[in-house]
Structure 1
Amino acid sequence: MLVQRSQQLSPTTNELLNICPRFRILVIGKTGIGKSSLINRAFGIKEAADGKRGYANIEKELISEQNDRFILHDSRGLEPGERVNYGAITSFIHRRRSHPDVKERLHAVWFCFQIPLVDHGERLMERGMEEFLRMKREVFGNVPTIFVFTKYDKLLDYIEGMSDDVEMDPEQQAEDYLKKYCIGPIQQLTKEHNIPPIAVTMRRGYELMHERLIELTFKEVSECFTAQLDEPSPVPVVTMIAQRMVPSLKIEGSIQVGRRRYWRALASSPNFRGYTIWDCLGVIHTDIISVWNFHDPSGVRLLLHHFHFGSVL
């Protein structure tokens, strides 16, 4: 009897993930600027690249075996005169941003640019991208969009090599440089003035930059999708589940999921008449494991769950 009753309890994550099983993100940027490394670190996978180097089919859904809670759409940058790629990107975004099914919508966009060393004649972007950004509001609507500036370590090395003032903080100089040569030009093109300087590097000791990117993405996604739906949106939850950089978001996600039903139920037994606290703890345990989204090819999580909560499986 205990097994039969428990089978009627369904983890909250099952309901949410049935509505929206994956976080769908579009990453735009030229080949070679660090997009794959960024995705690999943010979502805890080994390899995000697919297909021939330098080629990206924006329509293709890239799903990693190491983390199947996100879908990556990749697009190369916009070189001058590349009307085909421009048309493909705008068509994709228009179709995805207002899709009636939330799991098919585009949940976030990362615009990736390599930080230019202007004294070396480098540009932030080509003219094709400049034209595209002038149309940002029309093309993207309210899709959460984050601008990411890569190769921050090269900027630091450049500043440290050029500065004669040992008292000047290289990171403060780098922040000023980003505002002038990266944020400023994008603000002029998009007419948006609340663009935070999100810079990233693969250099050890700067992992907080990636965490800040994840936190900002989650914040933008939450504000966008929570406001769109009468019921609590599954999109912020699956965003937390997909990322593997910020443990605090996992904890917050576990709490949010639990509050929807079972944790409140422990103090309201009439709603769960016929079930034991052990039954409720079993589904809470399942929800927590789902939110943390560990890569577990050997199925250790399932074995441990069965060992501790065998009656609720």
Structure 2
Amino acid sequence: MSDSKIARPDKFRILIIGRANAGKTTILRAVCGAEGEPDVYDQNGNKIITSPKTTRSAIRTTLRTIRARLSREKPHPTGGKDSILSPSPLRGEHNIEYPLMFRGSPGFVFHDSRGFESGAVEELELAQKFIQNKANLGSMRNQLHAIWYCFSADSNRFMTAADKVFFDTIDTGTVPVIAIFTKFDALDAAAFSALSDQGVPFAEAQRRAPDHAREQFDQNLLPLIKQLAHPPRAVVCLRNMHNKGSQGAIKKAASELIESTGAALDDSALKVLLVQAQCVNVELCMKAAVNSGVITKAAQGAIQADPATFNPLQEKLIREIFQWFPYIWVYNKVTFCIICQLNIT
């Protein structure tokens, strides 16, 4: 099987938008199965060497650690380390055009927008220009494929006036916007209190709080989101992603985000590209392959065909299945035929 027939996947490009503490770095690490910071590149593909923390920043980190020890509290969850996606000396001059990539997940390319503050139009205009420029590119290689717009659920206001301006004035065209509400578990306390006020026993209120929080969100906030001029294609609520001890919850949240993004895509080739880009959850590859219908279609064709033509159909089936698994390729048709013969005999 030659590379000309099944090409290796290109990169899936995502613009992630959100203010500080919206959980953007946590999301990217979870989706890419990575730790640490992504590499930053300029528009020519040259890697940018991020500057180390300044002496003042290092002193602040040391003081935070000392105060935490004296008060017998845990240090800052990031250990005082600034993220590239947060305003800091490590990040350097912010540029939405600069791609971010994790070494262990080369299938994704990210661009970062710092979010929009009320009255500040510069960042909004930069994001709008970036989206329009990427949409006008002829090659799918450099086009923008999806936008992840992050909101922090532990904020007093889910959506600011500046956020509303984005959804009311910027038409992203075929590029789907996925609204991501991070730290959704922060709403559990209010949901628990509401259930307790209704006379629900303590243990049951604790158990039902997460579902009740989502029900209240769907009832009170989701209708407002759908009324926006250009509402997001999908809404994803992520919880417990800040707890490194809950790897199962983190993986589940990342999988939900990938699935919701895939469902929002109109182009079937981009759906394949997205699933290929993520390499931390093989179940998503299997599910996407099954949901695509290629297995059923090829199997039905094999049943209805003449037995003499079964092997070519079997080859087609394997070709179409393996396109969802970018790390499993059969390059040599002779080898493929030998495998088929061994299976038959």
Cα pair distance change 1:257/1:86, threshold 3 Å: same
Structure with higher helix content? 1
Name stretches of at least 5 consecutive residues in structure 2 with no aligned partner: 41-49, 51-83, 339-345
* Equivalent residues in 2 for 1:174-189, closer than 5 Å: 174-180=213-219, 182-189=221-228
Aligned to 2:187: 155
Aligned to 1:35: 24
Identify the match of residue 237 of structure 1 among 252, 264, 272.
272
* Equivalent residues in 2 for 1:27-106, closer than 5 Å: 27-49=16-38, 52=84, 53-54=86-87, 56-106=94-144
Q: TM-score, normalised by structure 2?
A: 0.63
AA of the residue aligned to 1:101? S
Aligned to 1:217: 261
**In 2, Cα distance between equivalents of 1:158 and 1:113:** 18
AA of the residue aligned to 1:175? R
Name stretches of at least 5 consecutive residues in structure 1 with no aligned partner: 1-5, 227-233, 295-300
**In 2, Cα distance between equivalents of 1:310 and 1:43:** 31
3-state SS in 2 of match to 1:147: strand
**In 1, Cα distance between equivalents of 2:126 and 2:167:** 15
Following TM superposition, by how much is the alpha carbon of 1:252 offset from its aligned partner in structure 2, in angstroms? 5.0
Cα deviation per residue 1:65-103 (whole Å; 9 max; x = unaligned)? Answer: 101111111111101222221111000101112321111
Following TM superposition, by how much is the alpha carbon of 1:178 offset from its aligned partner in structure 2, in angstroms? 1.8
RMSD: 4.1
3-state SS in 2 of match to 1:160: helix
Following TM superposition, by how much is the alpha carbon of 1:254 offset from its aligned partner in structure 2, in angstroms? 5.8
3-state SS in 2 of match to 1:105: coil
**In 2, Cα distance between equivalents of 1:75 and 1:65:** 21
Which 10-residue stretch deviates more, 123-132 or 146-155? 123-132
**In 2, Cα distance between equivalents of 1:195 and 1:27:** 15
Q: TM-score, normalised by structure 1?
A: 0.69
Following TM superposition, by how much is the alpha carbon of 1:310 offset from its aligned partner in structure 2, in angstroms? 11
Identify the match of residue 283 of structure 2 among 212, 227, 248.
248
Identify the match of residue 124 of structure 1 among 158, 181, 188.
158
Following TM superposition, by how much is the alpha carbon of 1:210 offset from its aligned partner in structure 2, in angstroms? 3.0
Cα pair distance change 1:148/1:269, threshold 3 Å: same
**In 1, Cα distance between equivalents of 2:216 and 2:22:** 18
Aligned to 2:3: 10
3-state SS in 2 of match to 1:38: helix
AA of the residue aligned to 1:211? S
Following TM superposition, by how much is the alpha carbon of 1:185 offset from its aligned partner in structure 2, in angstroms? 3.4
AA of the residue aligned to 1:148? I
3-state SS in 1 of match to 2:228: helix
**In 2, Cα distance between equivalents of 1:246 and 1:191:** 31
**In 2, Cα distance between equivalents of 1:130 and 1:142:** 20
Q: Is the 8 A contact 2:105 2:278 kept in 1?
A: no
**In 1, Cα distance between equivalents of 2:194 and 2:102:** 42
Cα pair distance change 1:235/1:292, threshold 3 Å: same
AA of the residue aligned to 1:98? N
**In 2, Cα distance between equivalents of 1:293 and 1:10:** 12
Identity fraction in percent: 23
Q: Is the 8 A contact 2:236 2:260 kept in 1?
A: no
Identify the match of residue 12 of structure 2 among 19, 23, 31.
23
**In 2, Cα distance between equivalents of 1:71 and 1:268:** 46
Cα pair distance change 1:115/1:190, threshold 3 Å: farther
Cα deviation per residue 1:223-251 (whole Å; 9 max; x = unaligned)? Answer: x224xxxxxxx322111111245433312
Paired residues in the alignment total: 270
Q: Is the 8 A contact 1:240 1:253 kept in 2?
A: yes
**In 2, Cα distance between equivalents of 1:76 and 1:211:** 24
**In 2, Cα distance between equivalents of 1:145 and 1:268:** 47
Q: Is the 8 A contact 1:23 1:242 kept in 2?
A: yes
Point out the structure with max Rg over C-alpha: 2
AA of the residue aligned to 1:186? I
AA of the residue aligned to 2:151? F
